[in-house]
A and B are shown apart, each in its own frame.
Chain A
Amino acid sequence: MRFSYSKENLSAPQARLQRLFEILPGLTSWAILTAMVLLSIFSPFTAAIITIAFYLCWLLRLLYMTLFLVLSYIRLNLEGTTDWMGRVHGIDHSADYLKILNARHGLLTFKQRFSVWLHRRELRKLTRSSRLPPSSKDIYHLVIFPILKENAQIIGAAVEAVSRQLFRPKQIIVVFALEKRAAQEIKNDVHAIAQKYHSHFLDCFTVLHPDEVPGEARVKGANVTCAARKAKEYIEANNIPLENVICSCFDADTVVSKHYFSCLTYHFMVTPDRQRASFQPIPVYHNNIWQVPGFARVIETGSSFFQLIEATNPEKLVTFSSHSMSFKALVEVGYWPVDMISDDSAIFWKCYVHYDGHYRVIPMYVTLSMDVACADNWWNTVKNVYKQKRRWAWGVENFPLVMRAFLGSDKIPLYDKLRHGFKLFEGHISWATWGFLLSIIGWMPVLFARREFASSVVYYNVPEIANTIFNLASLCLVTSIVLSLSLLPKTTIRYSGFKKLGHALEWLMIPVILVIFGALPALDAQTRLMRARYLEFWVTDKHRKK
């Protein structure tokens, strides 16, 4: 479908539709919150009934999500020892490979057997599809790092991680997408790193993104698009087929595991529609996790958990943060949007719309690590984390674009439109409202009780039922605490046992975190969109102690 994935230069009807869908999420969120407050004051009976029905819904949803969090975590664990590069080589010699796989079955541990079973399943699917992959020696990786304020320590660690890949470094092209307005010191650092790793990879070069390009906003998407265009020229000049290139757009602080590119190559090879796919790893925030305040640790662990849960539903998975995709698809859809902040999710929707719904995200059970947003002191860290969450919540800017695309498309099945549209809408609404409803508004009927309500059975039963629900929900909290302790990197600092106990107790801040760093930034973002006060891109400060 030909669709301009942008809110600029729209015709009058499209502009009106755009505004309508920009207003809708914020309006809905405010309507829900306001209605509940008013009901609590003027009709506490009704508010109490709705509150309990909501709490029950929340509890069941929480149990549902916790169940899949555990399953996803188990899968992540099981895939942790997989020899991805071995599989890649195996697919290159597929004729003998299956025989070898079957022969080894009896000698494997449970983890290995599961992994092999999975692998055989993927191979069977691949064979049936008859869309065989290129040989691994013909597959190239294009890695783009957008840079504006990140120093040598941060960029160096990211590139070093790419250099240590088990996948052949000589099939990796690293591009630094550097903003022209970056400080000279940063430019010098980037050039030095490019020089250092130039001969390690197939190539490692810098693309300078000029300022004030017409039609572009000061966003990361514009920067990486510029770099991708230059990279395309390089790839074509070196006679590398675009369909053999996998593009990974990483934040400058992204530290990938040494298995990342071999895992990515494997998934690219076993996916029949590999040119119609993005590949989403599990983001963790371990680079500086022990250097940041406790609330930041809890929030980012929660973000990782959310991605783990989303990975269990690939039919509705949307790309987030650092991820990879077919370079050919990226070129065909016209690269990332150059006027949107949420380029990570926007590129998925752009591809989805362009290919009339025949585009999906493949979850990869491999992690990549990034920095927790922080600053030089506690209060600035609070502000940075809040701004980051607001920027994430700004993903709501995709909603009007997606809805306009859906309305204009007759090729995307109606069921898929409804499914995706509802998930996108409902996801943002619940993000902005549930924190307030759970922590504050849910208690208002009892707080504002007049005599008539205060002498009813409902008035006395609501707190008891709510407490029971919250006690059951604490089971999910305990599960989250256990998983987070398991997921966190081992620390070599003193009193690590106390540190971990402290981290477990940090999870008790959830009610406050849910509101201040969850619902509030989301409501802030939706309100700005509703009022057409569009957000400017804000680069997260990266601070890491040496």
Chain B
Amino acid sequence: MIDLPPHLLYNLLLCMPLLRKIFFYLFVLVYLIICPVIILRMLGFVMDPRTRHWVKTGIIYVSSNPPGAAITINGRRAQETTPTIIRDLAPGQYTLRMELDGYGSWENQVPVVDKKATSVDNILLIPKQWKTEALNDSALTKLVPIPGNNYLLVAPDDIAQNISILRLNKDIEDNLEPLLPEESIYREARVVRYFTVVPSPFFVMEINLGDENKFLWMDPRDKQVHIEDLGDLLPQTPQRLYWEPNDEKNIFAFYPNFVNRINIKAKAIYPNIDGKDIPIPKKLPDLSDAPKADQVYLINNGNTFLFRRGNGIFLMDQVGFGRPRLTKVLRVAEHTDVYFAEKTGKLYYIDEQSRFLSSIQILHHKPFIPKPIADTLRLKRLEQ
């Protein structure tokens, strides 16, 4: 029981109305004092103990992929590891360094502006040793990505029967499988080119069989690849083919002076269609800041460019300050494409030396500290 003088406790319990008044005014006073202090703190104002004046500060929000990196700011070690927020920083330039076992360190000059947050978001830490893996044991010359999907095509030459498809399931890859069935009449054909639409799962393969060119529409979503010969629907070779990503029926064939619509299921051609009936391709992610390259992927939740220039594969941070870090990853076979799969976080390529299909783990973790939600939503719409 409370060890108070009896009369004090009695008064406490009896004089509730008076007590309520006292505490009410006390709490009002506390509120009037604390509320402005907290709001100032929220706005980034801090009391400087030396000058006893309010000073405006900024913060740095730091996150890395993978997380848990030790942070040093202007040579002083921070208590927290990534992801974290470093507060109460006077405006100016800071040298920020991140270190994690097994990975190379990252360092850059980070500006801090008063009342603003500088976001050093999802910095991809580069492993000291890249993890690569050979996925087959025969030489290849071609890698055809089907962008936005979980499979890609590889081939040692242009013969259709030699094309293999690699399906990606979660973190592992299936074995390479032939694209065409053994009994396929197109097996002896020579592949001329591929038509793909981001992120459609379908693709069209132009082949040369005998004296004629054929166009095969392919749906590899199932184990058994579904093939439609577009045959007479494309009497001339189009400059370009386009279709809505999820549309299984209609393809738009672009010719120099006109556009035809083809209905695959009905086997019908709708010639010379009006421009307003042609669907507008979805906007691709803004790669205007990307380096000049032969192939570019925006990975790590939009914070890093993975690109191929010639036969070199590079990573570059997309940060708005300091020097962007450029890292060379590896070299791939000349004149071959590469494919980055979001699902596995791996880059698929044809090895320069062995010419085997290989993979390299670029991202170990999904970036889990998203950018501001509005940005994330905008990014998702672009990816669609």
A: residues with CB less than 8 A from B are 48-49, 52-53, 56-57, 60-61, 63-64, 67-68, 71-72, 74-75, 78, 110, 113-114, 117-118, 121, 312-315, 447-451, 454-462, 464-465
Return the chain A residue nearest B374 by Cβ: A450
B20: A residues at CB distance < 8 A? 68, 312-313
10 closest A-B pairs by beta carbon, nearest first, are A454-B372, A457-B44, A312-B16, A461-B42, A60-B27, A75-B13, A449-B372, A117-B10, A457-B115, A460-B117
Q: Count chain B CB atoms within 10 A of each CB in A64, A447, A457, A462 and give the residue with the most.
A: A457
Binding site of A, secondary structure by majority: helix, strand, loop or mixed? helix
CB contact between B43 and one of A56, A121, A312, A458 (< 8 Å): that residue: A458
**Chain A proximity mask over B360-382: 1 for CB below 8 Å, otherwise 0:** 00000000000111110000000
Q: Are A71 and B39 in contact (CB under 8 A)?
A: no
CB contact between A457 and one of B9, B10, B58 (< 8 Å): that residue: B58
Q: Are B115 and A52 in contact (CB under 8 A)?
A: no
Least Cβ–Cβ distance between A284 and chain B, in angstroms: 20
Q: Are B117 and A459 in contact (CB under 8 A)?
A: yes
Is B23 part of the binding interface, using a Cβ–Cβ cutoff of 8 Å?
Answer: yes
Is B269 part of the binding interface, using a Cβ–Cβ cutoff of 8 Å?
Answer: no
Q: State which residues 1-50 of B face A: CB under 8 Å.
A: 1, 6-7, 9-10, 12-14, 16-17, 19-20, 23-24, 27, 30-31, 34-35, 38-39, 41-44
- State A63–B26 Cα separation when bound (angstroms): 12
**Chain B interface size range:** 35 or more
Is B260 part of the binding interface, using a Cβ–Cβ cutoff of 8 Å?
Answer: no
- State A254–B253 Cα separation when bound (angstroms): 81
B371: A residues at CB distance < 8 A? 454
Q: Are A465 and B38 in contact (CB under 8 A)?
A: yes
Least Cβ–Cβ distance between A475 and chain B, in angstroms: 15
Is B263 part of the binding interface, using a Cβ–Cβ cutoff of 8 Å?
Answer: no
A53: B residues at CB distance < 8 A? 35, 39
- State A110–B19 Cα separation when bound (angstroms): 22
**Chain A proximity mask over B98-136: 1 for CB below 8 Å, otherwise 0:** 000000000000000001111100000000000000000
Is B57 part of the binding interface, using a Cβ–Cβ cutoff of 8 Å?
Answer: yes
CB contact between B42 and one of A60, A314, A458 (< 8 Å): that residue: A458
CB contact between B16 and one of A71, A449, A457 (< 8 Å): that residue: A71
A460: B residues at CB distance < 8 A? 59, 61, 85, 117
Q: Can you spell out 26 A-B residue pairs with CB atoms less than 8 angstroms apart?
A: A49-B39, A53-B35, A63-B27, A64-B27, A68-B19, A71-B13, A72-B16, A75-B13, A78-B13, A110-B6, A113-B6, A118-B14, A312-B16, A312-B17, A315-B17, A455-B116, A455-B118, A458-B44, A460-B85, A461-B41, A461-B43, A461-B44, A461-B87, A464-B85, A465-B38, A465-B41
- State A304–B9 Cα separation when bound (angstroms): 24
Least Cβ–Cβ distance between A298 and chain B, in angstroms: 26
Given the known interface contacts A450-B374, A451-B375, the answer about A114 and B38 at a Cβ–Cβ threshold of 8 Å is no
A450: B residues at CB distance < 8 A? 372, 374
Least Cβ–Cβ distance between B28 and chain A, in angstroms: 8
Q: Are B10 and A57 in contact (CB under 8 A)?
A: no
Return the chain A residue nearest B58 by Cβ: A457
Q: Are B58 and A56 in contact (CB under 8 A)?
A: no
Return the chain A residue nearest B118 by Cβ: A455
CB contact between B372 and one of A48, A52, A71, A451 (< 8 Å): that residue: A451
Least Cβ–Cβ distance between A343 and chain B, in angstroms: 27
Least Cβ–Cβ distance between A435 and chain B, in angstroms: 21
CB contact between B12 and one of A48, A71, A113 (< 8 Å): that residue: A71
- State A114–B44 Cα separation when bound (angstroms): 52
Q: Are B372 and A57 in contact (CB under 8 A)?
A: no
B16: A residues at CB distance < 8 A? 68, 71-72, 312-314
A314: B residues at CB distance < 8 A? 16-17
- State A315–B9 Cα separation when bound (angstroms): 21
Least Cβ–Cβ distance between B304 and chain A, in angstroms: 20
B31: A residues at CB distance < 8 A? 56-57, 60
Q: Are A60 and B30 in contact (CB under 8 A)?
A: yes
Given the known interface contacts A68-B16, A117-B10, A121-B14, the answer about A462 and B42 at a Cβ–Cβ threshold of 8 Å is yes
B115: A residues at CB distance < 8 A? 456-458
A75: B residues at CB distance < 8 A? 13
- State A428–B85 Cα separation when bound (angstroms): 40
A63: B residues at CB distance < 8 A? 27
B117: A residues at CB distance < 8 A? 455-457, 459-460
- State A118–B7 Cα separation when bound (angstroms): 11
- State A68–B24 Cα separation when bound (angstroms): 11
CB contact between B373 and one of A312, A449, A456 (< 8 Å): that residue: A449
